[in-house]
Structure 1
Amino acid sequence: MKTIITVTCDARRPLADGTIPLVVKLTKNNKRKYLRTGITLKPNHWDFVKNKPKPNCPNREYIEAIITEKLKEYQQQVLEFQSIARDYSLTTLVEKVENPIKRITVEDYLKTIISNLINEKKIGNAEHYKALFNSLLQFSKLNIIFSDIDVAYLNRYETYLRSRGNKDNTISIKMRTLRATYNKAIKEKAVKKDYYPFDDYNVSKLKESTPKRSITKEDIQKIISLDVKTISKRPQSLLQFSKDLFLFSYLGCGINMIDIAYLKKSNIVSNRVVYKRHKTGKQISFLLQPYALEIIQRYQDPDRDYIFPILDDSIHPTPEQQFRRVKKITFVANKNLKKIGESINLSIPLTTYVARHSYATVLKRSGVNIAIISETLGHSDLKTTQIYLDSFENSQIDEAMKNLL
């Protein structure tokens, strides 16, 4: 049904000073909605027959300009709804007009996200958005608005990524980051939800089956028993350190490398490690197993606040430097872990990430409730996982972790 839009004075609701409000009057499906403009007039200054200010009305030209602008805004929004064949209520119409979309380019919006993440010291996440930004910049100009990113654009971008030799998992990461960007833009009213292209472009089609990344409890025992001196005649400190990082992660609820790097002495309370995950900010607490305690004691240094010799605030003062330092140590550790895995004939390359998956898999095979361990499986729905973890008492987790060795 047609929407009737007028701007008039509402004489039914005079104010205390005797003036009457200028309102936008909307009518559709026999329903009416009145929206005040913030302007009030004396009744003798309004022509109720011609529905406009009288010649003697103060600020008449200004009021007429307001009326013209309001009529234009609502009429244009109605036309936009009609162009996409979308039904709407008067409430929706008012919301769209009175809370307009901010016009911002994709380039500027991505730059803002990256800047905010860096300020929040979420450097790893910022790197994902930087990678997307640089990739999109190479693909096409970024001085576009979000409504320009439609299904055809996404298909062209996917084709471009494939032409550059990217595999499905790499493309999936880019597309999921772009989808997250679009969702943020909708939430912050940088684009209307009507233009959302990811309902018709299926990101999940890009997901490849994850290769096996876990080893058995027996393999863990082999790593513990391994004397790294049998692998190489060179100085063994890095091999031993890599082995210890792997086992500490396995015994520490699958704690990842960046959280290991940031652990300080203050994070140990009554033989428990209590810390906030770098990625999500959620608090994690676990009881230190005897072997994990041995590892910590091996690297104790009274002059260092950090538990492990990875970060040094005097050398790595900025979040970016700290991120790159952890990345470098992880790279070195993975090279050494590969040698360790080969020395005990593992069927898969040993990496720090294998420790996380092995922790989860061993506990799952031991019959532990998956809600306790699913956080370490790399699920995308981390909020749900954290809610599950928050519902368990420490005693339940401590009991469950007895199955690790």
Structure 2
Amino acid sequence: MNASISIIYYKFRTNKSGAHPLMLRIIKNRKTNYQSLGIYIHPDHWDFKKNKPKKNCPNGIAIQRLITEKIKEYTDKAIDLEIEKKDFTGKTLIDKVNTPVKRMNVNDLFLQEIAQLKKEGRIRYAECHDYVYKSLLKFNKHLDIYFSEIDVQWLRRYETWLRGEGNSENTIGIKFRTLRTMYNIAIREGYVKAEFYPFKDYKVSKLHENTPKRA
């Protein structure tokens, strides 16, 4: 990870009682950003050598736990962004950690995409998505699930079910390509991490049959 994340005792700001704030320091591409933890500690209660609260610090154990959790939270988010090959700055990292990510399940994202396609006048695509949406709903009984729950085993069960319903190879392929498109949208919008992407192992390209040419 090429970002440095640490806690500092920020002496350049002081409150009326003479205490200083704890700041999360993020160094990325030689630029430094700070994020306050909302905690002020008097110098008498801070161990400057060990960079942590002293034993006599009021609520010292809780403060140290918060420090550990915050460093982990920012470090994990930075690692996620690097895995997804998304560049970021210290400021954007702070924004991503502090901006709640809207959770979107499969049901809601499908309905949102269908409505958007209709709005754009792409009626055939909207109908195709609606066709797949209803198929998934019939298979799984409900779509109140997140995309991270759709793994290789889930896809194989869906494929087996489609064959049992009498779907042709090409029809199955169309449904899986549409589902793959929706999964890519979910990744792009941040509703699921790229590491959960099941189509690296489950190959949709196998779902194809040659149609005899007409004379």
| Aligned amino acid, residue 184 of structure 2 | N
Contact 2:5 2:24 in 1 (8 A): no
Task: Report the CA distance between 1:134 and its aligned residue.
Answer: 0.6
Q: Distance in 2 between matches of 1:5 and 1:73?
A: 10
Q: Identical aligned pairs, as a percentage?
A: 38
After superposition, the Cα gap between the structure-2 partners of 1:198 and 1:25, relative to the gap in structure 1 and judged at 3 Å, is same
Q: Distance in 1 between matches of 2:171 and 2:94?
A: 40
- Residue in structure 2 matched with residue 23 of structure 1 by the alignment: 24
Q: Map 1:168-207 to 2 at 5 A.
A: 168-207=169-208
Q: Distance in 2 between matches of 1:192 and 1:106?
A: 14
Contact 1:139 1:160 in 2 (8 A): yes
Query: When you count strand as a share of all residues, which structure comes out higher?
Result: 2
Q: What's the Cα RMSD here?
A: 4.3
Q: Distance in 1 between matches of 2:83 and 2:118?
A: 41
| Aligned amino acid, residue 136 of structure 2 | L
Q: Map 1:6-405 to 2 at 5 A.
A: 6-9=6-9, 14=12, 22-24=23-25, 35-38=33-36, 47-49=46-48, 50-52=51-53, 67=67, 69-74=69-74, 77=76, 99=96, 102-140=102-140, 141-212=142-213, 347=215
Contact 2:52 2:64 in 1 (8 A): no
| Aligned amino acid, residue 36 of structure 1 | Y
Q: Distance in 2 between matches of 1:96 and 1:156?
A: 38
| Aligned amino acid, residue 203 of structure 1 | V
Task: Report the CA distance between 1:119 and its aligned residue.
Answer: 1.8
Q: What does the per-residue CA deviation read over 1:154-179, in whole Å, with 9 as the maximum and x for residues that have no partner?
A: 11111110000001110011000000
Contact 1:21 1:40 in 2 (8 A): yes
Q: Distance in 1 between matches of 2:6 and 2:117?
A: 46
Number of positions where the alignment pairs a residue of Structure 1 with one of Structure 2: 192
Q: Distance in 2 between matches of 1:117 and 1:212?
A: 32
Q: Distance in 1 between matches of 2:151 and 2:96?
A: 23
Q: Distance in 2 between matches of 1:139 and 1:97?
A: 41
| Aligned amino acid, residue 144 of structure 2 | N
After superposition, the Cα gap between the structure-2 partners of 1:113 and 1:148, relative to the gap in structure 1 and judged at 3 Å, is same
Task: Report the CA distance between 1:151 and its aligned residue.
Answer: 0.8
Q: What does the per-residue CA deviation read over 1:378-400, in whole Å, with 9 as the maximum and x for residues that have no partner?
A: xxxxxxxxxxxxxxxxxxxxxxx
> Which one is further off, 170-179 or 124-133?
124-133
| Aligned amino acid, residue 209 of structure 1 | N
Contact 1:73 1:97 in 2 (8 A): no
| Aligned amino acid, residue 195 of structure 1 | F
Q: Distance in 2 between matches of 1:47 and 1:73?
A: 23
| Aligned amino acid, residue 47 of structure 1 | W
Contact 1:8 1:24 in 2 (8 A): yes
Which protein shows a greater Rg? 1
After superposition, the Cα gap between the structure-2 partners of 1:115 and 1:70, relative to the gap in structure 1 and judged at 3 Å, is same
Q: Distance in 1 between matches of 2:84 and 2:164?
A: 42
After superposition, the Cα gap between the structure-2 partners of 1:205 and 1:88, relative to the gap in structure 1 and judged at 3 Å, is closer
Q: Distance in 1 between matches of 2:129 and 2:159?
A: 17
Task: Report the CA distance between 1:55 and its aligned residue.
Answer: 6.5
Task: Report the CA distance between 1:128 and its aligned residue.
Answer: 1.0
- Residue in structure 2 matched with residue 333 of structure 1 by the alignment: none
Q: Distance in 1 between matches of 2:113 and 2:46?
A: 51
Q: Distance in 2 between matches of 1:112 and 1:25?
A: 36
Q: Distance in 1 between matches of 2:171 and 2:132?
A: 11
- Residue in structure 2 matched with residue 297 of structure 1 by the alignment: none
Contact 1:25 1:34 in 2 (8 A): yes
Contact 2:6 2:26 in 1 (8 A): yes
After superposition, the Cα gap between the structure-2 partners of 1:98 and 1:199, relative to the gap in structure 1 and judged at 3 Å, is farther
| Aligned amino acid, residue 145 of structure 1 | Y
Q: Distance in 2 between matches of 1:145 and 1:204?
A: 24
